[in-house]
Amino acid sequence: MPRYVIVGAGAVGASFAAALSEHSEVLVIARGAALEHLRHHPLKFRTSTRSRDVDLPVVSIDEVQLRTDDVLVLAVKTQHVGEVATALAWLPVRDESGAVVGSAGELLPVVTTQNGLDAERVVARWFSHVIASTVLISARYTTLGEVRVGGRPYLGALLIGEPYRSTEVGAAAAQTIAADLRTVNFVVSEVENITSIKATKLLHSVKNGLEVLAGDTDIKKQVGKAIGAETRVVLAAAGITPAESGALSISPEQVHLDEDLGVVAGQQSTWQSFARGAGSHEVDHLNGEIVLLAQIHGIEAPLNRRLQVLLGTASRTGGGVELAGLDSLVALTAVNAG
């Protein structure tokens, strides 16, 4: 059985670590306040079926000792993937006797969990066995040391596959993590077109920043439709074809949102980052990804660029929610419609 080395102790990383720890060996790599907290306190893991305190083994990235049976799961935000990949790639990997048999980049499978399209491209600079995933989970992490997952009866869902060439190590790891996550109450689909699936998720994720802005919900929906339409044009120019939207559908019988846990619609990862103070957020790899692709392919993406500017500027002054700026997006939407 593998050991899951989960890098990042935020909403996704902590949820995976707590769930998998019931049936598998896990090790969490954390930093800062999360590292110090988990060294001395259990993780409070709250779900619709039960609440439990989970003692998780935790180390810093400088302390980790990697083994040949490790599966690396990158659960940091996209903006930190390059830093983490650089730190991990050339670490020695030891066999059961303690002998060094190679480096992490050449030997170990690595699973990305990030939104957007950039994480896999970054990781592939260093790692030979890349597995990509799209994670669908209603997890809330706004209090240090506590994660709430609102999905029931299943915790969430995962679509997983190899984005580039398939390798024996990567294929085996993808099958194993799929089976292990099913055991701990996730819905998992193994897919061949994972990049198209991630592009479909991106069509939704580029709208996440609207949750941070003040304003009427119906107006936000209209602006969101315009941002989605602009994103489709840019993806088409880049030769990226999203999967059918139904590829991300989870039936209510599989995952129903339990709002009693304080996990409510309209407060996704971007909202949570800004609610915590926006010291770090994914906007530059969501809306910024579309801005980048538009630049490369000689077209414009004014709505994505404007939302990126609004939130990027706000993050420099401490983030927060109910921010101003929706009117500027409405104005751009009207110009585009005209």
Expressed as residue numbers, the domain containing 164 is 3-192
pLDDT of residue 138: 87
Together in a domain, 213 and 86: no
pLDDT band at 216 (very low <50, low <70, confident <90, very high): very high
Across residues 87-115, what is the average pLDDT? 97
d(CA 116, CA 155): 22
Together in a domain, 150 and 113: yes
Residue 197 resides in a domain: no
Across residues 185-189, what is the average pLDDT? 94
Cβ-based neighbour number of residue 160 at 10 Å: 24
Per the structure, how many domains does the chain have? Answer: 2
pLDDT digits over 115-168, tens only?
A: 999 999 999 999 999 999 999 998 888 889 999 998 878 999 999 999 999 999
Together in a domain, 180 and 213: no
Q: How many CA atoms lie within 13 A of 334 on its CB side?
A: 7
pLDDT band at 251 (very low <50, low <70, confident <90, very high): very low
What's the order of all strands across the beta sheet hosting 139-143?
A: 51-54, 43-46, 146-149, 139-143
Together in a domain, 40 and 163: yes
Together in a domain, 291 and 309: yes
Together in a domain, 179 and 222: no
**Cis before residue 153, ω within 30 degrees of 0?**
yes
Together in a domain, 59 and 185: yes
pLDDT band at 320 (very low <50, low <70, confident <90, very high): confident
Together in a domain, 132 and 251: no
Together in a domain, 229 and 316: yes
pLDDT of residue 334: 77
3-state helix, strand, coil in the chain (%, to 5): 45, 20, 35
Together in a domain, 183 and 206: no
The least confident of 36-40, 126-130, 237-241, 258-262 is 258-262
Task: Identify any residues that bridge with 109 across adjacent strands, giving them in sequence order.
Answer: 129
Is 240 buried (19+), middle (13-18) or exposed (0-12) by CB count in 10 A?
middle
d(CA 256, CA 27): 29
pLDDT of residue 252: 43
Together in a domain, 272 and 324: yes
pLDDT band at 58 (very low <50, low <70, confident <90, very high): very high
Question: At 92, which helix (H) or strand (E)?
Answer: strand 92-94
Domain of residue 132, CATH code: 3.40.50.720
Task: Identify any residues that bridge with 137 across adjacent strands, giving them in sequence order.
Answer: 156
